[in-house]
Every structure is written in C-alpha cells, then in structure tokens.
Amino acid sequence: MSNIKRIAIVILVVAAVGVIAGSFSGSDVLDRAIILGMGVDAAEDGGVILTAEIVSPGNGSEQVGTFSKTVTAKGETINVAIQNVAELTSKEASLGQCVVLVLGEQYFKTVDFSDLTEYFINHHSFKESAVICCCEGNAMDLFNKADALTQSMSLAITTAILDESEKIAVSSNSLLEYARSQYELDRTGFLNYISFVSSENTDAQLPDKTLGYIGYRQLAVFRQNKYVCTLDEQLVKGMSLFEPQVTGETFVSFEDTVTRTVQVTNKNVKLKPDGKGGFEAELKVTVRYGRTDSEEVSGALTAKNDKEIPQKVLDDVSQQIRSVAERYLAAQAEYNFDLLDFHEAYRQKEGSSDALFNKPMSEFAVTLTVEVQEA
Amino acid sequence: MDKNRVSIDQIALLYLLLIMGGKFLTLPSLLAGDVGHDSWVSVAFSFVWDAVCLCFLLWAIRINDKAHLDISAILDKSVSKPVSKLLLAIFFVVFVLRTNVLLSGCYKMFSVTFDVSTNWIVYVLPIAALAVFAIVKGFNAVARTSQLLFGLILIAVVALFVSPLSEAEFGALLPIGEAGWGNIIWTSYSRSFWFSDYIFVYFVLDGIKIKKHVFAPVLTSFAIGATLSIVLNAVFVALFGYLAPDFDMAMSKIGVFSAASTTNGRWDWLTLSIWLLSVFIKMIVFIFCAYKCIEKIFDKNFVKVNWIAVAFVLLTLALPMFVTTEQLLNTVIKWGIIPFTLVQYVLPLLMPLLTKTALRKTEVKNE
C-alpha cells in the first residue's frame, strides 16, 4: 500500500470517528441536575409538589458530594413536576443516581398513587433498587432538614433503610419489591414510614440550629397503592420476627429485682402451609444479652458463649415473642394485608387462582410454635 | 494462510460468546410475557433442541475433517443446486433478520441505559465498518478477537447476574410448569428464532482445523452458555415477577441491582458495556455469514471482496428505519418460523448424511 493510500485511510477514519462522535447527542455532566432523592407531596389543586435533592456539578463555588441543594416544583403529574425541576435549574433532570423516593403524609394517605408507581417502575433511568418510603408530615419539610443531619437527606434515609434497618428489626423495601407487591397476589405491601425526630441542641455557639435524626421504626401498609394502615413499633417487631434476615429485636425481662435485656441474634423461621388452608409457623430464636460491644456480632456462625441467661428469662422472652407475633398476625387478619407472603406460599404449592388471590387473611389459621435458646 | 481458517477451540469460544450475546436483550421479557415464570424452562427446552442439532453438526464436521467441503459444495452435491440455493437464501434472511433484531435491541439499550441517542445511520456505521473489516480480513480475525475478549466478557456477564441474586425470590419460579407444558414447548419453538447460534458454523465448514477433539470443546462451551442463559432467565423472572414482561431490556435492568447503594456508583454500566461487545461480535459474525450466503448463492468464490455484495448486505441494516422490531416479530419472523426451522433444526440433523453423500460423490468424481 502506498503512503498516500495510508494517509487517505487515516484521514477517512479520523473523519468518520469525528462524525460519529459528534452525532451521539449525549449531554454533558455539567448540563445535568443529578437528582439524589425526591419527595412527593399532594398539591391542593390535585397535582403533585416535587422536592428534589440535587447535586449539580460545575456551579462554581458550590461543593459537590454530600453538600446538595433542594429544589421544589409543582406539576399536574410527576412527569411535569420533574420537567419543572429541570426548568428551575436550567439543567436536564437526571434520575439515574436517584436513591430514594419519599411520599409525604397527605399524599400517600389520600391519593391512589398507582400512576406514580407505574411511572417510576417504567422509567428507564430510575433504578428499581432505589428505596421508596413514606414520611410523617411533608416530604418537602423533611428534605429541607438536611442541615440538621449535617449530611445529604437522601443518603441518610438510604443508609438508614438499606443498611441499618435490618439490625434493629425493621423490614425494608425497594421500589421493585413494593411495585411487585401492589400488582401481585393479594396486592398488599408496605413502605417504611420515616419521620424526622428532633433532638436537643446543646451547642452554645449555634443555639438555634435544629438537630435530629431519621426515625424509621414504623411501616405503612398499602393495597393497590392506597393506604390501608400504619404498623406501630410493636407490630413491626412482630412482623420482623417472621423474617430470618432481620434481627436485633430486644426483649426486657423482669426477674425479681433484676431487669435483663436480651437481643435476638439469629432466627430459624419455618412458615409453611399446613395443607388445611392454614399455616404452621415455627420460630426458633437465638438470643444474647443486649450489648453494644463486639459480643453483639450476630449470625448463625458465631462462636458459642457460656450459658448465662437463666431459663426463667428465656421462658419469659418466649412468652413475649409469642405475644408480639400473635398481635401482628391478628393485625394482618384484621386489616387483611399479607406481608408474610401467605398467598405466595400457597401459589407456589397450588398454582395461581383468583380464589387464592381473593382469600382473606382471616381465613389463614396460624399454628405458632416458639422456641428460644441462648446463643 | 487461509484467512478463514479457524480452530475448533476458537469455534467453541466464539459460540459461547454468541450464545451470551443475543439472549439477554429483549428475549427474557418476551418469554415472560408468553409463559410467565416458566420462561427459564422454555429456554431450557430450546437448548435441548440446540444440543441435539449441535451434536449432529459436529458429527458432520468430523466427517468433513479431511475434505474441507464448504456448505455450498455439500448441499449442491447432496440435495441439488436449486435446493441448495433456496436453503442459502433462507440462511441469508435469517442472518439479516437476526442482525437487525440485535441492532434494534442494542440501539434501545444504549438510549435506555446510557441516555444517549443518535440517528440510525450513525449508530450502524461503526458496526458496519467492523463487519467490513471482518469480511476483508477473514473469519480468523473475528475468531481471534473473540479469543481476546472472551475472558472479560464472561466475567462481565457473571458479575451482572450475580449481584441481584440476593434480591431474587426464587420461590416465584414455583410451581414449575404452571403455564402448561404444551404452552412452554410451543413457546420454545415459536421463539426459536433467538436460538441455534451454531448456524454460523455452516459458513466456516471449509476452514475448520481439528486437532484432536471436536465434541468436547464445543459442547463444553455450549453447556456453559446454556447454563448462563437459563440462570439469567430464572434470575430475571425471580426478580421482576409479574412485571417481567414490561422490562424489555433485561440486562440493563438486572444490572441496576449491582448499584443498589451510591457507594458502588454505576459500575453496572462498565460490565454492561463489556457484555455488549459480545452482541457486537455476534452481529459481525452474522453479517459475515450473510455476505457468504450471497457469495455462494451466486456461485462466486470471491478471491477479493465483492463490494457490491458488501454494499447490499450493509443496506439491509437500514431495515429498522422502516419497520419496527415488533412488526418484524409479528410478521416475517412469526410466519417465517417454518422455513427457518429447516435451516436451524432440520438441516443440522441431516448434515452428517448430506456430508457423507457429498464426499462420496466427490470421491467418485475424482476417481
């Protein structure tokens, strides 16, 4: 091949690469409003108020990372509200990094938000693994309290629900799990119900600064994206007893003048259809004295300790577990929601049928066995 | 050295990449729409048919070991020239359609996952350039490329579907066969268009080098590819449940579970990009085979590249500008399933016999 041909080929290739690269209309990161988290509230006229926590790089002195700003926009639908956020920031709203979606109290208690769930589950960029939860009061107020946490509100909520909740006996949910629960079987599911809890400010230099933390020990139950009821701390504890991966439930036992706190470190849960339309529930719970040192390490493969919890205490804890679990099962039957997948267990056994999907929870009789042992 | 000469080991690696390259785009959601949580069973059935046909095809390769007859010579001598040309024309349609379906899937994958959009021509240009390069340099270039990228792609695929394993509810796959066995088997046939990736082997029959084993390397690759595809389908359905038919970009959506928390960033984008290389390789192989079909239909064993034939093949890549993938699936592919079966499933079963016949006739002629 002559040199001229070689040069011609190189020029052609460079030109082709230039044309191709220039034709892909991706947008620069500087032109993007990267949304970390979103809060949705009900607007008075029937639309939605969207509060977005945004990390927007390249704004001069603005710091990027845990420092972010919140932008609030209104819209008839969530899509319009997101577009309005883009208009307010003069940047394209990017949902690919959004980790949390919070629904405000008035919104989730009064609105059928099927459209919203469908919008996000079908959204190409929005991650199905993102956390979806609801909050006490307005989502907008919650997001505007980021200063009180001295960190990004979205990241604080995500860390709490994704990483910490299972250690303090609270079940958690992702967008995908929630969306599936609203479309499948009896169509009931839950969202973590969070709140901002103020704490006392003892800082003499900044006496007016609000301090606080995210509380997340409650759950809200939904059927087909409509609010059903709220599970208080005790009911959440009862629910978590049936979930093997969730540990950390604490029980207090009073023996004569001594008060002892024990903590669940491991569980073996068997929840299986009894063949008569009900369930056999077997809870084998391992407990230890509640500690905050390295002894707290939990799991099935931890080293054995010398036995130190009196049998009387174990019996008392067993009784408490039974009571908490039965209270939760009664709430399931009363409000007719299925968070322990009773319908799913029967579907796996017998296949899908409308009769099964419509079977009320009160018709699932549960025989409960509880066994408590020391780790 | 013959630029189309490839070893059986290279064929095996390439085959594995082709299996992984096309089945994780739109197919999982289509199957979920057809048979729900039994889609993985349907995939397993498809691979059973593939395994049987592959064994027969490998047997034919073994028979053809010394003579190195190409597909055109085998068909011409065994089933007559007109039938041979008809079969090659069907092959051509299969390759063009499969390339276009893959191209459309990839196009959507890019815009969905990476939020970039471009016009069709500019999108196709680099792929067309690579395909032309493969045609000019010969099949050996594609085989060597796949050897080079094989390890990376395999790691990327495994990384993509391992991350959501903890989120998947495998109980959702029960009871097995709920969609009805007849329905599952029919689905496995009606979606057979996405399977039988071994068909590229027909067009390199004359260049395969066999050292010792024929069956072991290819069947091992097949087993790995089939297992990965079945597991991925199972993970997909276990993850998305009733919503699975709505998620038409399986790999893009499965990947997000590797990015559950912000500390991980979006490294699914990296693994996804690496996996996409296998789709590109698959498209290039199919374009190469489509070109070979034209070469053999017109009885030309082009010494140099025939640019008119290349231009014609590349022109067919503009098809998605006029017809949507869904239209293709509901018309040409739906009704073309019977002729496609001929080259995908019937021909491999007959290949040992046809090869023997062709060899006998060649020997007689030589005598």
Range of the domain at B237: 6-353
Contact yes or no for B113 and A124 at CB 8 A: yes
Q: Note the pLDDT of residue A152.
A: 83
One-letter amino acid for residue A372 of the chain: V
Q: Note the pLDDT of residue A66.
A: 47
Q: Which residue has the tokens 């010579």?
A: B73
Say how far apart CA A359 and CA A350 lie, in whole Å. Answer: 14
B358 part of a folded domain: no
The closest alpha carbon to A94, from A51, A33, A155, belongs to A33
B360 part of a folded domain: no
Q: Is A1 on the interface with B (CB under 8 A)?
A: no
Based on the number of CB atoms within 10 Å of its own CB, is A297 exposed (0-12), middle (13-18) or buried (19 or more)? exposed
DSSP string, A308-321: -S-HHHHHHHHHHH
Of A26, A179, A345, the CB nearest to B115: A26
State yes or no: cis peptide before B175, omega within 30 of 0: yes
Which residues in B lie closer than 8 A to residue A122 (C-beta atoms)?
Answer: 246
Going residue by residue through chain A, which has 375 residues, state the pLDDT in tens, using 9 for 90 and above.
677 877 887 788 777 777 766 666 556 667 788 899 999 999 988 899 999 999 866 555 555 444 678 999 999 999 999 999 989 988 888 888 898 999 999 999 999 999 999 999 988 888 888 999 999 999 999 998 877 777 788 888 888 888 788 788 888 888 999 999 999 888 999 999 999 998 887 777 777 777 888 898 999 999 999 999 999 999 999 999 999 888 888 899 887 778 888 889 889 999 999 988 899 999 999 998 876 555 445 555 666 666 678 888 999 999 999 999 999 999 999 999 999 999 999 999 999 999 999 999 999 999 999 999 987
B166 part of a folded domain: yes
B249 part of a folded domain: yes
* Shortest CA distance from A179: residue in chain B: B243
pLDDT digit string (tens) for B316-365? 999 999 999 889 988 888 899 999 999 999 999 999 999 999 999 887 76
Q: Is B241 on the interface with A (CB under 8 A)?
A: yes
Residue A117 structure tokens? 């769930």
Cβ pair A262, A251 in contact under 8 A: yes
Distance from CA of B313 to the nearest CA of A (A): 20
pLDDT digit string (tens) for B146-173? 999 999 999 998 888 887 888 888 999 9
> Cα dist. A230→A66, A226, A326, A328 in Å?
32, 12, 17, 12
Q: What is the rounded average pLDDT of the residues B208-228?
A: 92
Q: Is B174 on the interface with A (CB under 8 A)?
A: yes
Say how far apart CA B240 and CA A344 lie, in whole Å. Answer: 15
Angle at A195 between CA A193 and CA A199, to 5 degrees: 150
pLDDT band at B184 (very low <50, low <70, confident <90, very high): very high
Tell me the CATH number at B158. 1.20.1740.10
Residue A259 structure tokens? 């008060």
* Shortest CA distance from A176: residue in chain B: B240
B362 part of a folded domain: no
Q: Is A94 on the interface with B (CB under 8 A)?
A: yes
SS3 B129: helix
Best of A176, A183, A341, A347 to substitute, by most chain B Cβ atoms within 10 angstroms, is: A176
Residue ranges of domains in chain A, CATH in brackets: 29-231 (no CATH), 233-375 (3.30.300.210)
Residue B131 structure tokens? 């395909």
DSSP string, B283-332: HHHHHHHHHHHHHHHTT---SS--HHHHHHHHHGGGGGGTS-HHHHIIII
SS3 A289: strand
Q: How many domains does one find in chain B?
A: 1
The closest alpha carbon to B92, from B352, B265, B355, B340, belongs to B340
Q: Which residue has the tokens 């062709």?
A: B358
B367 part of a folded domain: no
Q: Is A176 on the interface with B (CB under 8 A)?
A: yes
- Output phi, psi for B158, to 5 deg: -65, -45
pLDDT at B45 exceeding the cut of 50: yes
Which residues in B lie closer than 8 A to residue A174 (C-beta atoms)?
Answer: 167, 260
Q: Which residues contact A193 (CB under 8 A, 6 or more apart)?
A: A133, A134, A135, A136, A216, A218, A219, A220, A230, A231
B361 part of a folded domain: no
Q: Note the pLDDT of residue B39.
A: 96
Q: Is A97 on the interface with B (CB under 8 A)?
A: yes
Sign, CA torsion B206/B211/B216/B221: negative
B179 part of a folded domain: yes
Q: Is A344 on the interface with B (CB under 8 A)?
A: yes
Of A23, A26, A121, the CB nearest to B122: A23
Q: What is the ipTM of this complex?
A: 0.82
Say how far apart CA A86 and CA A101 lie, in whole Å. Answer: 17
pLDDT band at B265 (very low <50, low <70, confident <90, very high): low
Q: What's the pTM value of the predicted model, to 2 decimals?
A: 0.86
